């Protein structure tokens, strides 16, 4: 066990600050998970109107993320993070005191908009701080911090929702301010436009032109981002198709069993992230992403053939291992193959791809289940996962050969 923990000891101190700030932020993420319940139970909105507002709050984060990525690449990651997180937190405070539903909704939506700026800036700061060799370990630790916070935060939020409603908003704001203070106090600006940053490989050298021109010059990165959408499509089946399948198979017990599955997912992440990160840290990121597709294929593909709930638990552990591998490898590959002046924008594009994959997943699965039922869907998911995994492995072979050819050309010239 000491060997696994030692894996995290060589990171820059700034990374530990970021991970602690992440933990605090996720512990205090109270409003988001309870937004739908707040709108219906506390404000008295209909389910339809509540659904529209929750959807709008999700959609509004997309342009905000892209805009936040561009501004972070132009003005500096730390600066944009501090402004965005602070504004997002400030706008939650009126919600704790006002009884006017319109003011509450407007404040929540604007807060969500500024919240969209946070992730591109924050993720880019981590990449700036970490060296090539440290990125998988560093992002693994941050992923662990996120899930540790998420595991506890909703429990506290549930208590506040039922007993101290104003603190639902104030607690969220206060933890955000605490995270901002840690970053402001202990981390220097990681990127400025005119700085002569020493890049660790040629792929990270600054590029001129717009985002489309940059991606056109980097076909491997573009293909990877496309395959990531497919992976998001597959992974998001657990949010819609899986509860539908459980409900069809176990009738009234479906909701209870889905709760057990999500608890299994959370526990698996907390226990196995350290071990999986250690075991796979020397792998090529595309090897890990290929394994992600295989684990998704097995974990989700077997669902169509299961009758006993205990096997659903085994299935969940398998696809969760794929989730862990994807979470600690995807960002590393993008970072190692992105110009340093496009990091925040590419993070926003990656998030957009995940959102698109999830949206397509839900709409497609809903239509398919309506026509053919749940069981046969999982074999289709298996095929999609395997094809994506094969494509990812092909991308790895192409990427390695291309690097080798370029290296040989440079050596020959010298």
Which pLDDT belongs to residue 200?
Answer: 64
Residue 7 inside a domain? The answer is: no
Question: Is there a single domain that holds both residue 145 and residue 92?
Answer: yes
Alpha carbons 213 and 348: distance in angstroms, whole number: 17
Q: pLDDT per residue over 56-76, tens digit each?
A: 888 898 899 999 999 999 999
- State the number of CA atoms in the 13 A half-sphere of 66 facing the CB: 9
Of the three residues 168, 185, 202, the one that is the final residue of a domain is 185
The residues near 378 (Cβ < 8 Å, ≥ 6 apart) are 241, 245, 300, 301, 302, 303, 304, 305
Alpha carbons 259 and 364: distance in angstroms, whole number: 24
Residue 203 inside a domain? The answer is: no
213-216: which pairs have CB atoms within 8 A and are 24 or more residues apart?
A: 214/339, 214/342
Question: Is there a single domain that holds both residue 408 and residue 356?
Answer: yes
- Which tokens go with 128? 């700036």
Question: Is there a single domain that holds both residue 269 and residue 177?
Answer: no
Place of tokens 């436009």: 193
- Which tokens go with 182? 């840690």
Question: Is there a single domain that holds both residue 33 and residue 159?
Answer: yes
Question: Is there a single domain that holds both residue 247 and residue 393?
Answer: yes
- Find the DSSP H helices in 130-193: 135-163, 165-186
Number of H helices, E strands in the chain: 18, 0
Of the three residues 167, 185, 203, the one that is the final residue of a domain is 185
Question: Is there a single domain that holds both residue 33 and residue 152?
Answer: yes
Which pLDDT belongs to residue 18?
Answer: 96
Look at the chain and report how many structural domains it folds into. Answer: 2
Provide the Cα torsion 392, 394, 400, 405; round to 10°.
-140
Question: Is there a single domain that holds both residue 76 and residue 173?
Answer: yes
Question: Is there a single domain that holds both residue 179 and residue 255?
Answer: no
- State the number of CA atoms in the 13 A half-sphere of 188 facing the CB: 6
Residue 205 inside a domain? The answer is: no
Residue 93 inside a domain? The answer is: yes
The residues near 352 (Cβ < 8 Å, ≥ 6 apart) are 62, 65, 66
Q: pLDDT per residue over 126-136, tens digit each?
A: 999 998 889 99
Residue 6 inside a domain? The answer is: no
Of the three residues 140, 167, 185, the one that is the final residue of a domain is 185
Domain ranges, residue 105: 13-185
Rg (C-alpha) for the chain, rounded Å, is 22
Question: Is there a single domain that holds both residue 142 and residue 235?
Answer: no
Residues of the chain with pLDDT under 50: 410-414
Question: Is there a single domain that holds both residue 148 and residue 234?
Answer: no
Place of tokens 């997309």: 62
Question: Is there a single domain that holds both residue 26 and residue 172?
Answer: yes
Question: Is there a single domain that holds both residue 177 and residue 221?
Answer: no
Which pLDDT belongs to residue 413?
Answer: 45
Residue 1 inside a domain? The answer is: no
Residue 198 inside a domain? The answer is: no
Residue 163 inside a domain? The answer is: yes
Which pLDDT belongs to residue 408?
Answer: 60
Longest dimension (CA), the chain: 73
- Which tokens go with 90? 């400030």
Residue 303: give its domain's CATH number: 1.20.1250.20
Which pLDDT belongs to residue 195?
Answer: 59
């Amino acid at each position: 066990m000491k060997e696994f923990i030692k894996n995290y000891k060589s990171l820059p101190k700034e990374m530990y600050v970021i991970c602690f700030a992440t933990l605090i932020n996720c512990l205090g993420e109270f409003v988001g998970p309870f937004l739908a319940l707040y709108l219906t139970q506390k404000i008295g909105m209909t389910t339809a109107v509540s659904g529209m507002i929750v959807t709008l709050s999700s959609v509004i984060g997309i342009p905000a993320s892209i805009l936040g990525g561009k501004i972070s690449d132009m003005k500096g990651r730390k600066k944009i993070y501090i402004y965005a997180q602070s504004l997002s937190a400030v706008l939650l405070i009126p919600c704790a005191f006002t009884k006017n539903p319109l003011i509450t909704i407007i404040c929540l939506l604007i807060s969500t908009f500024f919240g969209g700026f946070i992730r591109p800036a924050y993720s880019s700061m981590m990449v700036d701080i970490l060296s090539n060799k440290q990125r998988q370990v560093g992002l693994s630790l941050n992923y662990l911090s996120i899930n540790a916070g998420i595991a506890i935060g909703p429990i506290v939020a549930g208590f506040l929702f039922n007993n101290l409603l104003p603190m639902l908003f104030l607690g969220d704001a206060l933890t955000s301010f605490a995270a901002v203070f840690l970053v402001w106090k202990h981390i220097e600006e990681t990127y400025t436009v005119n700085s002569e940053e020493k890049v660790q490989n040629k792929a990270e050298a600054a590029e001129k032109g717009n985002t489309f021109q940059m991606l056109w010059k980097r076909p491997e990165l573009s293909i990877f981002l496309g395959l990531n959408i497919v992976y998001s499509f597959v992974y998001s089946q657990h949010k819609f198709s899986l509860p539908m399948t459980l409900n069809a198979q176990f009738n009234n017990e479906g909701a209870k069993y889905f709760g057990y599955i999500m608890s299994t997912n959370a526990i698996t992440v907390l226990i196995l992230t350290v071990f999986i990160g250690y075991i796979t840290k020397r792998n090529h990121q595309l090897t890990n992403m290929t394994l992600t597709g295989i684990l998704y294929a097995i974990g989700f593909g077997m669902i169509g053939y299961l009758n006993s709930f205990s096997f659903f638990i085994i299935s969940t552990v398998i696809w969760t291992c794929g989730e862990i591998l994807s979470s600690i490898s995807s960002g590393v590959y993008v970072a190692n193959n992105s110009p340093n002046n496009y990091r925040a924008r590419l993070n926003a594009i990656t998030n957009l791809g995940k959102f698109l994959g999830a949206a397509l997943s839900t709409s497609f699965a809903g239509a398919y289940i309506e026509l053919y039922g749940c069981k046969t869907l999982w074999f289709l998911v298996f095929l999609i996962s395997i094809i994506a995994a094969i494509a990812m492995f092909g991308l790895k072979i192409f990427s390695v050969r291309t690097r080798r050819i370029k290296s040989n050309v440079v050596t020959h010239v010298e």
